[in-house]
Structure 1
Amino acid sequence: MMKSLYSARKRRNAIAMALALAATLFGVTWLVLILGKLLWEGFSGLSSSVFTEMTPPPGSDGGLLNPIMGSLIMTGIAVAIGTPIGIFAGTYMAEYGRHDRLTSVIRFINDILLSAPSIVIGLFIYEIMVYPMGHFSGWAGAVALAVMVIPVVVRTTEDMLNLVPNQMREAAFALGLPRAFVIRHVSYKAARAGMITGILLAIARISGETAPLLFTALNNQFWNTNLNAPVSSLPIVIFQFALSPYENWQKLAWTGALIITMAVLALSIGARTLAASRKQQ
């Protein structure tokens, strides 16, 4: 009886392991195929002109300088807007109102915003900024990306500050230090690596977003640093060039996709490195 029961469990375990392995191989195979195609097509079009020349007209050679700079500008502004708001909100939730009802409400809303489709965020910014202004703009694009940065930074800031042992705060309070000083010099210092990791993850999330920029910054075929007008961005140019019938545009689309992928990979590696260094401390 026991032997037959053991054999049945062993068979079920073998079947489960085989299914898990098959699912893993299925997913990894598609990942390898996608990355292989991206690397092959992307590197074939990679050259110095990609970073020094503007997007070309149909049938001509050119580069991606203006969309790269547009993406960097809007991403930088989005991080500058969203990071302080996210850090302050996460700090309140972890340090001042850990057990308040308001904190539960903020956390619930933040979770909804964290999982909200990016196209909905873009449509919302279109309604409150683009439509009243009467035109698309880089400012609207930056604000849309900032709205996506905030929930990521809020979640990571709160989680990292909650991991700081209360004994460290109590020791600082016992010395007569004010709460603001304790937060800046004790809590933030202990949670610094995790908070920076959250910021890097937020940047990685918005780096390849296309949908919100379609409703806000739109696109610009020419060099433009005026954020009160439509601004080019790398995801939008990839979307436009990939759907075009022109071979040179399609090649630039693959190269742009490779640039975004490598940037996101670098940010992810940096985030994991910081997380690993925090665990070793």
Structure 2
Amino acid sequence: MSHAAVTEERPSTLRGASLPKWSPWAIAAGSLAVAVLLGLVAGIESRIQWGLIAGLLFLVATYVLAAKVEGRRQAKDRIATSLVWVAFLLAVVPLVSLVWTTVARGTKVLDLYFLTHSMGIVADSQPGGGIYHAIIGSLEQVGLATLMAAPIGVLTAIYLVEYGRGGLARAVTFFVDVMTGIPSVVAGLFILSLMLIFEMEPFGFAGSLALAILMVPVVVRSTEEMLKLVPNELREASLALGIPKWRTILKVVLPTSIGGITTGIMLAIARIAGETAPVLLLVFGNRFINNNPFEGAQQSLPLYIYQQYANSAGANAAYDRAWAASLTLIAFVMILNLLARGIARWKAPQSGR
């Protein structure tokens, strides 16, 4: 028998045995079936507990089978990968459930009439009404807060990264860290105390001031991280050509990081768009349309959701309006994220070929 024939008859032993590619799916299906069976036998009605049991069984079964077929070393690798997948599912399932529930319940009354009419004289227990006044209030309050917080946050981050040295920079960094953890109700109480001192009535701009306080540290932190990602070689090359530092920041540093800065600002807007406590304390809510944020009580989407849900006892109409407003708020945040991605791509520096 020739050497070639012997080689063909003896498969290579450099690669050990391994589980088939479909094994994770089979193990997952088996674990889920066993978890459901155990849940029914033990009288466990919660599907969440079924899922947790299935995840635990999946990890154990994966390790046992991989250790028997592939060895302990490969089994440890598979168990680490399985832990990542289980953690991913644990994070995704609540998110998908939240979106699905909001869409299923929010679409009952969400239509053009709902988006273009206010509550007016419609009682909470009656059908009809809409969120037009709340949309106007949210856009004005969040817009004014952004106009105040975004420049302050970006300039503060520029100071910390480009100029900040010594005790002042450390103090600014410390207070930014403190402001990051301030509860929203505390910011609302701070503005409310000022309003009481000057004997002012609730109005939309007061809510914008509280939202700006919450937005500033988020913008500072995100902008600071983006500016740190700009290579120092770009700054040094610009300074070597005799260009002043302020012009280097304006023409080199900011254009290079504008995509990340814009994304950070949009995320900060999304963070404050759903705040309820400051608006409840300072804006007070209004059933009618108020286009002037500097005079009189005004409505906003988070406050509208809270008030409709609070008054939904025995009234399905208010309950449905609360879910429809929640779906609108989620869509608003999603649009902001899409705009951030579009602006980031548009303003991103293009590398030459």
Which of the numbers 106, 110, 118 marks the counterpart of 1:54?
118
Q: Give the TM-score normalised by the residue count of structure 1.
A: 0.88
**SS state at 2:178 partner:** helix
Partner in structure 2 of residue 43 of structure 1: 107
Further displaced range: 158-167 or 185-194: 158-167
Match of 2:150 among 65, 71, 83: 83
Does the 8 Å contact 2:274/2:302 carry over to 1? yes
User: 1:117 deviation in Å?
Assistant: 1.7
1:28 aligned onto 2:95: no
1:258 lines up with 2:306 in the alignment: no
Partners of 2:210 and 2:278 within 8 A in 1 = yes
Partner secondary structure for residue 275 of structure 2: coil
What is the distance in 1 between the residues matched to 2:323 and 2:331?
12
The aligned amino acid for 1:142 is S
Alignment root-mean-square deviation, CA: 2.5
Instruction: Structure 2: give runs of 5+ residues left out of the alignment.
Output: 1-66
Q: CA deviation at 1:274?
A: 5.5
Moved more, 20-29 or 243-252: 20-29
Counterpart in 2 of 1:180? 246
Q: Whose Rg is larger?
A: 2
Q: Can you list the C-alpha shifts for 1:22-48, whole angstroms capped at 9, x where unaligned?
A: 443333222222211111111222111
Partner residue of 1:74?
Answer: 141
SS in 2 for 1:104: helix
Identity %: 36
Residue 167 to residue 9, structure 1, CA distance change in 2 (3 Å)? closer
- Corresponding pairs, count: 277
| Alpha-carbon distance in structure 1 between the residues aligned to 2:197 and 2:123 | 29
1:65 aligns with 2:165: no
**Counterpart Cα distance in 1 of 2:344 and 2:71:** 43
Counterpart selection for 1:164 from 230, 250, 253: 230
**1:44 counterpart SS class:** coil
Q: SS of the counterpart of 1:177?
A: coil
1:203 aligned to 2:269?
Answer: yes
Compared CA separation, residues 12 and 161, structure 1 to 2 (3 A): closer
Any idea what SS the aligned residue of 2:185 has?
Answer: helix
Letter in 2 for 1:110: V
Name the CA distance, whole Å, in 2 between partners of 1:234 and 1:117.
20
Shift of 1:63: 0.9
Partner of 1:114: 180
| Partner AA of 2:308 in structure 1 | F
Q: Verify: 1:129 aligned to 2:195, yes or no.
A: yes
Distance of 1:175 and 1:105 partners within structure 2: 34
Aligned residue number for residue 241 of structure 1: 308
Question: Could you give the per-residue CA deviations for residues 118-165 of structure 1, whole angstroms, max 9, x where no partner exists?
Answer: 122212222223553342221110101111111111112222222222
Alignment partner, residue 162 of structure 2: 95
Tell me if the contact between 2:279 and 2:303 (Cα under 8 Å) persists in the aligned partners.
Answer: yes
TM-score (structure 2 length as normaliser)? 0.71
Alpha-carbon shift at residue 95 of structure 1 (Å): 1.3
More divergent stretch after superposition (78-87 vs 237-246): 237-246
122-131 vs 108-117, which moves further: 122-131
Q: Whole-Å Cα distance in 1 between the matches of residues 92 and 153 of structure 2?
A: 35
SS of equivalent residue, structure 2 residue 297: coil
Larger relative contact order (CA 8 Å, sep ≥ 6): 1
